[in-house]
């Protein structure tokens, strides 16, 4: 991606700022295009409130961004899981969990947790990527039943 030397008003643009803005736009576009649910949570705020969700998150969980931005991730998606807050202590991690969708149903998900650090090394955000495991779980159960039938005399 090429970065213009001048901002729209015609003044020269600092190269580092131009690169930062281009990288930020590129990152947002990539996250928006992901086919799986991605959310960013503020690691420095109490309850780790959401700061970004991609369109796949909205489609899977049923929440529009304006409904969830600023809300704590734990109480939103894992309200009845008393151990959910501890998931961050093992990050980076991949966990299987049950997450609550807007309509109240629970979905089995594989949650990948990553970390973003600032230039000072301080943890600033959690990156949460959700993979829907419901179909895999259904197929595993079906396979278990078929094996039991096949093993029966």
| pTM of the complete model | 0.73
Q: Could you read off the pLDDT tens digit of each residue along the chain, which spans 153 residues?
A: 454 555 556 565 567 666 666 666 666 666 666 778 999 999 999 889 999 999 999 999 999 999 999 999 998 999 888 788 888 888 888 989 899 999 999 989 999 999 999 889 999 999 999 998 877 777 888 888 888 888 888
Edge-to-edge strand list for the sheet holding 106-117: 50-53, 37-42, 123-132, 106-117, 93-100
Residue 2, CA distances (Å) to 8, 26, 32, 33, 117 in order: 15, 11, 20, 20, 26
3-state secondary structure of 138: helix
What's the CATH code of the domain at 78?
3.30.450.20
Same domain, 52 and 27: no
pLDDT for position 139: 82
What is the domain count for the chain? 2
Residues 58/64, Cβ–Cβ less than 8 Å: yes
Same domain, 63 and 103: yes
- Where in the sequence is the domain holding 74, given as residue range(s)? 35-151
Q: What is the CA radius of gyration of the chain?
A: 20
Pair (15, 52) in one structural domain: no
């Amino acid at each position: 991606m090429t970065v213009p030397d001048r901002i729209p008003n015609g003044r020269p643009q600092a190269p580092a700022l131009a690169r930062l803005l281009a990288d930020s736009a590129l990152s947002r576009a990539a996250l928006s295009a992901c086919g799986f649910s991605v959310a960013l949570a503020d690691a420095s705020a109490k309850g780790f409130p959401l700061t970004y969700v991609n369109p796949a998150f909205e489609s899977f969980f049923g929440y529009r961004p304006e409904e969830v931005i600023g809300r704590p991730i734990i109480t939103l998606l894992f309200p009845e899981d008393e151990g959910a807050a501890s998931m961050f202590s093992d990050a980076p991690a991949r966990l299987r969990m049950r997450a609550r969708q807007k309509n109240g149903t629970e979905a089995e998900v594989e949650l990948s947790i990553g970390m973003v650090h600032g230039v000072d090394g301080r943890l600033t955000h959690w990156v949460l990527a959700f993979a829907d495991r419901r179909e895999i779980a259904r197929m595993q159960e079906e396979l278990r039943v078929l094996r039991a039938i096949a093993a029966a005399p």
